[in-house]
Amino acid sequence: MRGMNRYAPAMAVLIGLTFAASPAAAEDAQPETFRDCEQCPEMVVVPGGSFVMGSEEAVSERPMGPPHEVTIAGPFALGKYEITNRQYREFVEATGHEMSKGCRGNIDQEWKNDPEAHWTDLRLGQESDPEHPVACVSWLDARAYLDWLSGISGQDYRLPSEAEWEYAARAGAGDWYYWGEDPDEGCKHANMYDTSAHAVHDFIWPWIDCDDGHTTLAPVGSFQPNPFGLHDMTGNLWEWVEDCYEVLYPEDTPTDGSAYGPPPGQCENRSVRGGSWLTNPDWQRTTFRGRDPEEVRYSFFGFRVARSLTE
């Protein structure tokens, strides 16, 4: 890392896929995929299992624990990719969902609101691509999309819980990245803040010492999937999850993989995971937890969808 040192389908086909997460098991499993409707995103079946969520470490004085064991009893489905501009446009055109302009981003090395930015034009000096992941969407916007998707598919789509997200991002690996502990090996796996992005944007935090071929957003699926068959779990965009954020995992945090916290409007901050194309690599660890209010929109926040699988 450069810039500074690192901080030292039918359910019948799913029967038998549940296992405790381990790298060997994840690599041997062939991902099961399905799509519920023509406009529905492609989903990956993630097998259930147990893992230790969180880390005893802290990054940038932000704790990532306390570690606690979570058991996800059965398989669940997670979007193979982050939701794209094309998919989000279909929702907006079908529902008339209104979004005012204004989106926060890094402007002249400060986090500011750009009053002209919008999900259709992030104003990042990059032409919008239908297959880029949609950004400048709030947690509430994501929930509105999920309500529409549930209606047209007849299935109950939702955001993943924080536990589901971390379990799926690790794919049986440790608490750094699914490929190991060296962020400089990330360029074939993820769109991170790399040498080419640093040359263009010159943000003041560390960058990884390789070139992933993208200075800003990348089309979804541009990089290798993790062993569960999921793309871009690290980088490209931060991803909203369902949980209400607390600095430390509370004593009553669910251990069954379900989400923690109150319904919309009763939570100060919602968790976001995975980092983005412009994020300090230490913040892209699978255990690192971002957080922001449900109504905020950032030019580097997006989401992917989840749904439960039942017999």
pLDDT at 212: 95
> Which tens digits make up the pLDDT trace of 28-51?
557 999 999 999 999 999 999 999
192 pLDDT above the threshold of 70? yes
**Pairing outcome for strands 238-244 and 301-302:** parallel
Please report the pLDDT score of residue 109 as a whole number.
73
Q: Which of 25-34, 110-119, 125-134, 141-150 comes out lowest in average pLDDT? A: 25-34
The separation between CA 115 and the C-alpha centre of its own chain, rounded to angstroms, equals: 25
In DSSP notation, 28-66 reads HSPPEEE-SSTTSPPEEEEPPEEEEES-S-EETTEE---
- pLDDT tier at 61 (50, 70, 90 boundaries)? confident
pTM, 2 dp: 0.90
Is 67 among the domain residues? yes
The mean per-residue pLDDT over the stretch 173-192 comes to 94
pLDDT at 15 over 80: no
Could you report how far apart the first and last alpha carbons of the chain are, in Å? 46
Asked if residue 3 belongs to a domain, the reply is no
Any domain includes 25: yes
Give the burial class of 147: count Cβ atoms within 10 A of its Cβ; 0-12 exposed, 13-18 middle, 19 or more buried: middle
Strand partners for 43: 34, 79
Q: Which residues span the domain enclosing 155?
A: 11-308
Number of domains in the chain: 1
CATH of the domain at 257: 3.90.1580.10
Query: Which of 62-66, 103-107, 165-169 shows the lowest mean pLDDT across its residues?
Result: 103-107
Task: Please determine, for residue 2, whether its predicted confidence score (pLDDT) is greater than 80.
Answer: no
Across 303-307, average pLDDT: 99
* pLDDT at site 29: 57
For residue 216, being part of any structural domain is answered with yes
pLDDT in tens, 3-13: 543 323 333 33
Distance CA(305)–CA(291), nearest Å, equals 18
Cross-strand pairs, 2: 207
- Residue 4 resides in a domain: no
Q: Residue 18: what pLDDT?
A: 35
Sign, CA torsion 105/110/111/113: negative
- Burial call 41-71: b when 16+ CB within 10 Å, e when fewer: bebbbbbbbbbebbbebebeeebbbebeebe
| pLDDT exceeds cutoff 80 at 250 | yes
6 part of a folded domain: no
Residue 2 resides in a domain: no
Res 117: pLDDT? 92
176 found inside a domain: yes
Q: Measuring CA to CA, how many Å separate 235 from each of 14, 147, 217, 284, 301?
A: 29, 26, 9, 7, 10
Confirm if 102 and 117 have CB atoms less than 8 A apart. yes
- Of all residues in the chain, what percent carry a pLDDT higher than 70? 90
Q: How far is CA 140 from the centre of its chain?
A: 16
Average pLDDT rounded to a whole number, residues 118-137: 93
Mean pLDDT of 14-36: 58
Q: Using the predicted structure, report yes or no on whether residue 311 has a pLDDT greater than 80.
A: no
Task: Give pLDDT, residue 86.
Answer: 98
